[in-house]
Amino acid sequence: MPFDLALYLVTDAALCAETGLEATVEAAVKGGVTMVQLRDKHASDEAMIAQATRLKALLEGSGVPLIINDRLSVAIASGADGLHVGQSDTAVQEARAALGPQAILGLSINTLAQLRDAPIAQLDYVGLGPIFATASKQDHARPIGFEGLAELVRACPLPSVAIGGLKAQHAAQVSAAGAQGMAVISAICGQPDPYRAALAFRAS
Ligand code: TZP
Ligand code: MG
Asked if residue 76 is part of any domain, the answer here is yes
Asked if residue 125 is part of any domain, the answer here is yes
Residue closest via CA to ligand 1's atom 5 equals: 137
pTM, rounded to two decimals: 0.98
Cα gap 168→190, rounded to integer Å? 15
Asked if residue 202 is part of any domain, the answer here is no
- Whether ligand 1 lies within 6 angstroms of the CB of 173 is answered as no
Give the total number of structural domains in the chain.
1
Asked if residue 199 is part of any domain, the answer here is no
- Whether ligand 1 lies within 6 angstroms of the CB of 152 is answered as no
Is 167 tagged catalytic?
Answer: no
Asked if residue 166 is part of any domain, the answer here is yes
Name the β-bridge partners of 69.
84
Asked if residue 87 is part of any domain, the answer here is yes
Asked if residue 86 is part of any domain, the answer here is yes
- Which residue range forms the structural domain that includes residue 22? 7-193
- Whether ligand 1 lies within 6 angstroms of the CB of 166 is answered as yes
Cα gap 76→31, rounded to integer Å? 28
pLDDT tens digit sequence for 81-97:
999 999 999 999 999 99
pLDDT tens digit sequence for 18-41:
999 999 999 999 999 999 999 999
Distances from the Cα of 29 to the Cαs of 22, 47, 66, 87, 195, in angstroms? 11, 23, 12, 28, 7
Q: What is the DSSP-derived secondary structure letter of residue 89?
A: S
CATH code assigned at 146: 3.20.20.70
